[in-house]
Amino acid sequence: MSQWRVAAAQYPIDALADWEAYAAKLTRWVGQAAQAGAALAVFPEYGGMELASLDPATMGDLQGSIETVSALLPRVDALHADLARTHAIWILAASAPRKRADGRFVNTARLFSPTGGVAYQDKLLMTCFENEDWGIVAGDRLNVFATPLGRLAVLICYDSEFPLLARAAVEAGAQVLLVPSCTETMRGYWRVRLGSQARALEGQCYAVHSPTVGEAAWSPAVDHNRGAAGIYGPPDRHDGFAMPEDGVLAIGEESAAQWVYADLDLDHVATLRADGGVLNMRDWALQAGAGPLPAVTVVDLT
């Protein structure tokens, strides 16, 4: 399936009255993306932290919020799996803290297929506040997901700012990089946006950026959220088609709650990598001192 539509969420953090309010919100969002023809809906980093509002006793406490959200993940994931099946759509769920068997927390995004499959990607590089304040630890493996849509990889927020991670995914065949993010300032947003665009340029692929938006003063974790969803490609052309001159296929209105859509053609990725105006993917190895790339596992979801 070389041509398909992707939806990137500018997702607002809300204080939820109860579980039913969350389920209704998620159902509405997924339904809108599916109705617009999206084959894949991408939600942001730490969008799951709004679930902390379901426990008034801990919602104002950082560690209490993390524990609450992690405990709810099985129920959250069951809802996502049901919506993916109902709407015949792939869903990258908003990432959330997940407690491992050793008691440590990782920041995990989950990819749901329309046929009931689910796969996971933990964030690999922690920001200072995640390490020092949240106690979130890094994952240890980068995955590339082989799907009927093509090969997808997930670079969670800060991960997108490091070219060797994306390069490892591209070397393993990734054609689309999914970049869920959570940034409280426009500087943070621009770091992730510029990282996403640079990774699309270097890998001659698509990058899909989905941020949290809005104010949530009740939350010690995600109180301020700035950004705009964007879908990017390499600014290049070939006989018969052209990417946008600035590489921006679609961009949202900053901090508005909305979906942003773009139609992707993975044949264009293959064509540009083979015979583009420039050949960034091929020429990466020409860099002096290029070191070994991290190991990647290909997870088959076909």
What are residue 185's DSSP bridge partners?
Answer: none
The three-state secondary structure class of 231 is strand
> Cβ distance 158 to 21 under 8 Å?
no
Please report the pLDDT score of residue 296 as a whole number. Answer: 85
Q: How confident is the model at residue 289 (pLDDT cuts 50, 70, 90)?
A: low
C-alpha distances in angstroms, 22 versus 55, 85, 264, 267?
13, 18, 30, 38
**What's the rounded Cα separation, in Å, for the pair 4 and 162?**
27
Whole-number pLDDT of residue 291: 65
Homologous superfamily of 3-284 in CATH?
Answer: Carbon-nitrogen hydrolase (3.60.110.10)
- pLDDT value at 235 more than 70: yes
In whole angstroms, what is the distance from residue 92 CA to residue 47 CA?
A: 11
Mean pLDDT of 79-85: 98
pLDDT confidence of residue 290: 60
Q: What is the pLDDT of residues 135-173, one digit of tens each?
A: 999 999 999 999 999 999 999 999 999 999 999 999 999
Within a 10 A sphere around the Cβ of 35, how many other Cβ atoms?
Answer: 9
Average pLDDT over residues 46-61: 94
pLDDT digits (tens, 9 = 90+) for 176-210: 999 999 999 999 999 999 999 999 999 999 999 99
Predicted local confidence at residue 288, as pLDDT: 62
Tell me which long-range contacts 132-139 makes (C-beta under 8 A, separation of at least 24).
133/62, 134/62, 134/66, 134/97, 134/105, 134/221, 135/63, 135/66, 135/104, 135/105, 136/66, 136/97, 136/105, 136/106, 136/107, 137/104, 137/105, 137/106, 138/106, 139/106, 139/107, 139/108
d(CA 39, CA 230): 17
pLDDT at 275 over 70: yes
> In terms of Cα–Cα distance, which of 151, 140, 85 is closest to 295?
140
Tell me if the pTM is above 0.75.
yes
Domain range summary for the chain, segments of one domain joined by +: 3-284
For the ranges 66-75, 84-93, 229-238, 290-299, the lowest mean pLDDT is seen at: 290-299
Mean per-residue pLDDT, 22-26: 98
β-pairing, 38-42 vs 90-92, is: parallel
Q: Can you give the pLDDT at residue 292? A: 67
Residue 261 confidence (pLDDT) above 70: yes
Q: Are 3 and 37 in contact (CB under 8 A)?
A: no
Helix or strand run (H / E) with residue 33: helix 19-35
> How much of the chain exceeds pLDDT 90, in percent?
88
Q: Which two tokens stand for residue 97?
A: 């803290």
Residue 12 confidence class, pLDDT cut points 50, 70, 90: very high
C-alpha span between 63 and 300 (Å, rounded):
35
Could you give phi then psi for residue 85, rounded to 5 degrees?
A: -70, -45
- Residue 53 corresponds to which tokens in the numbers above? 């509002």
Polymer length of the chain: 302
Strands 296-300 and 142-147 come out as: parallel
Structure tokens at 266: 């993975």
| Residue 199: strand, helix, or coil | helix
Burial class (CB in 10 A: 0-12, 13-18, 19+), 138: middle
